[in-house]
Structure 1
Amino acid sequence: MTEKPAWLKVRYKPASVDRLTANLQAKGLHTVCQEAHCPNRGECYESGTATFILLGDVCTRNCRFCQVGGGRPQAPDSEEPAQLAETVRDMQLDHVVLTQVTRDDLADGGAAHMARAVRAIRQTNPAVSIEVLISDLGGDPAALQTVLDAKPDVLNHNVEMVPRLYPTIRPGAKYDRSLEVLARSKDRLPDGLTKSGFMLGLGESDDEVRALLADLRRVRCDIVTISQYLQPSPAHQPVDRYVTPEAFEAWAEAARALGFRYVVSGPLVRSSYRALAAYRAGREA
């Protein structure tokens, strides 16, 4: 693949990044901002926003697009929910995103741990709105209900890519299962918002993207994020193409025309980018 185009180059903001990173590491917490080398972490850190990874930083799947490391994870840290709640309070956040590594080694996929974290944050920070970005939890409806019972404000689960690419790039997941997670969440969290995201630049066609957007609306997904796939290392799936900012805006218009309450679409967009703005706009729509 050719060199990254100019629109993918961002300015690193070391003071804010290093300060917050040191604070989180001192507490033994992980953020997707660091683990996934998010290109927006400088912007988000400067605004006092971070996306926390629960259940450690080792994933039990081996997707070919993801930077988060695989291997044998440790047992869940029972102190993590309380530590997260304290950190949210110390950072004086208005909106929190909690994500997780996939934990197929746990009977409930980590659902109970996620629910405890939501409740701990609510107890310490009752005014904070909370988004959870969950795995597919193995397709277990009871595990999903455990998360929903904690009443997050936003239930986010990413479909990541068009279904044709799943067998080779995301073999541990199932497209229909991900849609079912979103459909069940909308049914059982009527006062909340559902959200999903996917990447371009993996070899998908325009027709496949249109079909994916239609599938998300069919399960009444409220918010969608559309981003450029960036190859984390030479061992990962190669980039098929770099999508222009103009093309991303065209996809945003197409998504809005389908009825999504809020769309975030751009080369540097990630799942939790501008999450607070998406939440507020989704509530008002």
Structure 2
Amino acid sequence: MKPRHPEKINKPINPIQRKPDWIRVKISNSSIYNETKEIVKSNNLHTVCEEAGCPNISECWSKRHATFMIMGDTCTRACAFCNVKTGLPNALDRKEPSRIAKATNDLNLKHVVITSVDRDDLEDGGAEHFAQTILEIKKLNPNTSVEILTPDFLRKGDVYKKIILAKPDVFNHNIETVPSNYTKVRPGSRYFQSINLLKEAKDYDDKIFTKSGLMLGLGESEDELYQVMDDLRCAKVDFLTLGQYLQPTDRHYPIKKFIPPEDFEKYKKIAYSKGFLLVSSSPMTRSSYHADDDFQKLKEKRQNNLI
């Protein structure tokens, strides 16, 4: 069998370990799941649920929750953990934002998450395309909250401001792992670029909730994890997600450890003690997993003057 991505052909083979009992992927073929799939397909859209092989796709799509991935299905970077294909992307589809808005309406989403591939080939990294997508969604779906999960816009200056001006409700950018892992796991990125992006987004508009997440089980130490938490709090990040890294194929970075559920609970308590407003921490947690419910919790805290 040919590997899914040609660019991984020279990478070492890392056999996939058997998952522990506490990691169980739910499989669904419900009518709602199939309806969600058809809406995505009929609007000619990509989802990170499919492209990244998310283990929660059955559960989420059975609730009509899909995370749209804009600017194509081809990334300009080759992170060792990611299953999205790498290569030279196509030109931007200028009609994509309106199709995203229509699909949001078709799914009757009250909260929608928009992410993207990295587009280092674009002068602004795709920031304007993000902004147009947010505006189109809000125009057709005025009562829908919008959460965006952005690239780091490395060497692109302050292009993130284009996105902030479009008024997303949540600005998310994932740290992914601890600094010592970056050269092995996320070689095209820079840790402090990610931290600074989150800080600058919050400084530019402190009404927007900021969010970030890490995968655990990549060889990080607890002390390193706690330092990242502190760095994120220094950047005024509101919401933290922690989940277990699951190796997509034998050509991807190997799992160093399966973190037990009780450790995720411990990390959640520590994160709250450091000042995060909301923490989602479990083996199956992903950035957009239960994002709608989590946003409502944050919104209620603000409305009740608890934050």
TM-score range normalised by the length of the shorter chain = over 0.9
TM-score under structure 2 length normalisation: 0.91
The farther-off stretch of 161-170 and 7-16 is 7-16
* 8 Å CA contact retained: 1:139, 1:181: no
d(CA) in 2 for partners of 1:222 and 1:280?
14
The one-letter code of the counterpart of 1:44 is C
Contact 2:46 2:72 (8 Å CA) reproduced: yes
Residue-by-residue CA offset, 1:225-273 (whole Å, 9 max, x unaligned):
0010010000000000100011111101110111111100011111111
Alignment RMSD (CA, Å):
1.1
Please point out which of 220, 244, 252 is paired with 1:204.
220
Residues of 1 paired with 2:108 and 2:116: CA distance? 22
| C-alpha distance in structure 2 between counterparts of 1:252 and 1:100, whole Å | 27
Contiguous gaps of at least 5 residues in structure 1:
none
Decide which moves more: 6-15 or 111-120: 6-15
Matches within 5 A, 1:184-263: 184-263=200-279
Aligned partner of 2:159 in structure 1 is 143
For residue 52 of structure 1, the aligned residue among 56, 65, 68 is: 68
Map 1:106-117; keep pairs closer than 5 Å: 106-117=122-133
Q: What's 1:12 paired with?
A: 27
- Name whichever structure is richer in helix by fraction: 1
State the shift of 1:139 in Å. 4.3
In the TM superposition, 1:96-107 aligns within 5 A as: 96-107=112-123
Contact 2:217 / 2:245 at 8 angstroms: preserved in 1? yes
Deviation at residue 162 of structure 1 after TM alignment:
0.1
Question: Quick one: which amino acid aligns to residue 110 of structure 2?
Answer: D
* Alignment of 1:34 onto 2:50: yes
Match of 2:176 among 160, 181, 184: 160
Kept in 2, the 8 Å contact 1:111–1:144? The answer is yes
Between the aligned residues of both structures, percent identity stands at 42
Question: How far 1:124 moved relative to its partner?
Answer: 0.6
The amino acid of 2:39's aligned partner reads: N
The offset of 1:19, in angstroms, is: 3.0
Return the alpha-carbon distance in structure 2 between the equivalents of residues 124 and 222 of structure 1.
28
Q: Is the 8 A contact 1:261 1:281 kept in 2?
A: no
Q: What corresponds to 1:133 in structure 2?
A: 149
CA–CA separation in structure 2 for the residues paired with 1:254 and 1:101: 32
Instruction: Measure, in 2, the Cα distance between the counterparts of 1:140 and 1:149.
Output: 17
Indicate conservation of the 8 Å contact 2:25/2:55, yes or no: yes
Q: Secondary structure at the match of 1:214?
A: helix
- C-alpha distance in 2 between matches for 1:123 and 1:3: 46
**d(CA) in 2 for partners of 1:72 and 1:196?**
27
Distance 1:37 1:189 in 2: 33
> Unaligned regions of 5+ residues in structure 2, if any?
1-15, 302-306
The number of aligned residues is: 285
